[in-house]
Chains A and B, each alone.
Chain A
Amino acid sequence: MSEPARFLAGKSHLALWAVLAVALVLPPMLGSYFHYLGALALINVIIAIGLNLLTGNAGQISVCHSSFMAIGAYATTYYFARLGIPYLVSLPMGGLTAAVCGLVLGFPALRVRGFYLAVVTLGFLEITEILVEEFPQITGGVRGIASPRPSLLGMKLSSDLAFYYFVLVFTLLAMWFAYSLLRSPTGRAFNAIRNNEAVAQTLAIPLARTKLIAFVLSAFYAGIGGGLYATSVGFIDPLEFGLLTSVRHVTFIVVGGVGSLAGSVVGAIALTLLPEALRGFKEYNEFIYGGLLLLVLIAFPKGLVGLWNSLWQRFSVPEKPRLTSPDSVVP
Chain B
Amino acid sequence: MPLAVNIQLLISGLSAGSIYALVGLGLLLAFKGTGILNFAQGELVTFGAYTALFLSMLLHLPYWAVFILTLLIAAVLGAVMERVLIRPLTGAPEFTVVVATLSIGLMIKNALRVSWQETVSTIPTPFSDMYFRVGTISINLQYVWVTVCALTIMGLLAVFFRNNLLGKAMRAVAQNQEAARLMGIRVSRVFPATFALSAAIAALAGILIGPINGIEPEMGNVLMKGFVAAVIGGFDSLGGCVIAGFLLGVLETFGGAYIGGVFKEVSAFGLLTVLLLVRPYGLFGRAEARRV
Q: How far is the CA of A129 from the CA of B145 in the complex (A)?
A: 35
* 1/0 contact string of A298-310 vs chain B (CB within 8 Å): 1001110000000
Q: Is the CB of B266 within 8 A of A290?
A: no
Q: Is the CB of B96 within 8 A of A287?
A: no
With beta carbons under 8 angstroms apart, the residue of A115, A130, A258, A290 that contacts B106 is A290
* B258 touches A (CB below 8 Å): no
* B107 touches A (CB below 8 Å): yes
Chain B residues with Cβ below 8 Å from A197 are 290
* 1/0 contact string of A244-283 vs chain B (CB within 8 Å): 0001001101110010000000000000000000000001
* B162 touches A (CB below 8 Å): no
| Chain B 245-290 residues near chain A, CB threshold 8 A | 262, 266, 269, 272-273, 276-277, 280-282, 290
Q: Is the CB of A301 within 8 A of B110?
A: no
* A206 touches B (CB below 8 Å): no
Q: Is the CB of A120 within 8 A of B276?
A: yes
Q: Is the CB of B89 within 8 A of A291?
A: no
Given that A198-B290, A255-B99 are contacting pairs, would A111 and B110 also be in contact in the complex, using a CB cutoff of 8 Å? no
Chain A residues with Cβ below 8 Å from B292 are 196, 198-199
The dominant DSSP class at the B interface is helix
Q: How far is the CA of A45 from the CA of B85 in the complex (A)?
A: 29
Given that A287-B107, A290-B104, A298-B89 are contacting pairs, would A254 and B99 also be in contact in the complex, using a CB cutoff of 8 Å? yes
* 1/0 contact string of B7-39 vs chain A (CB within 8 Å): 000000000000000000000000000000100
* 1/0 contact string of A101-140 vs chain B (CB within 8 Å): 0000000100110011001101100100010000000000
Q: How far is the CA of A251 from the CA of B106 in the complex (A)?
A: 13
In whole Å, how far is B229's beta carbon from the nearest beta carbon of chain A?
12
* B93 touches A (CB below 8 Å): yes
Q: Is the CB of A251 within 8 A of B272?
A: no
In whole Å, how far is A176's beta carbon from the nearest beta carbon of chain B?
26
* B165 touches A (CB below 8 Å): no
Tally of A-B Cβ pairs under 8 angstroms: 101
In whole Å, how far is B55's beta carbon from the nearest beta carbon of chain A?
23
Q: How far is the CA of A116 from the CA of B281 in the complex (A)?
A: 7
Q: Is the CB of A112 within 8 A of B280?
A: yes
In whole Å, how far is A78's beta carbon from the nearest beta carbon of chain B?
24
* 1/0 contact string of B112-133 vs chain A (CB within 8 Å): 0110000000000000000000
Size category of the binding interface on chain B: 35 or more
Q: Is the CB of B37 within 8 A of A298?
A: no
* A20 touches B (CB below 8 Å): no
Q: Is the CB of B103 within 8 A of A122?
A: no
Chain A residues with Cβ below 8 Å from B269 are 122-123, 126
* B144 touches A (CB below 8 Å): no
Chain A residues with Cβ below 8 Å from B187 are none
In whole Å, how far is A1's beta carbon from the nearest beta carbon of chain B?
32
Chain B residues with Cβ below 8 Å from A120 are 273, 276
Q: Is the CB of B102 within 8 A of A247?
A: yes
| Residues of B near any A CB (own CB < 8 A) | 37, 85, 88-89, 91-93, 95-96, 98-100, 102-107, 109-111, 113-114, 228, 231, 235, 262, 266, 269, 272-273, 276-277, 280-282, 290, 292
| Residues of A near any B CB (own CB < 8 A) | 55, 108, 111-112, 115-116, 119-120, 122-123, 126, 130, 196-199, 247, 250-251, 253-255, 258, 283-284, 286-287, 289-291, 293-294, 297-298, 301-303
Interface contacts beyond A287-B110, A298-B85: sample of 8 additional A-B pairs, CB < 8 Å, sorted by A: A108-B277, A198-B290, A251-B102, A284-B114, A290-B105, A290-B107, A297-B89, A301-B89
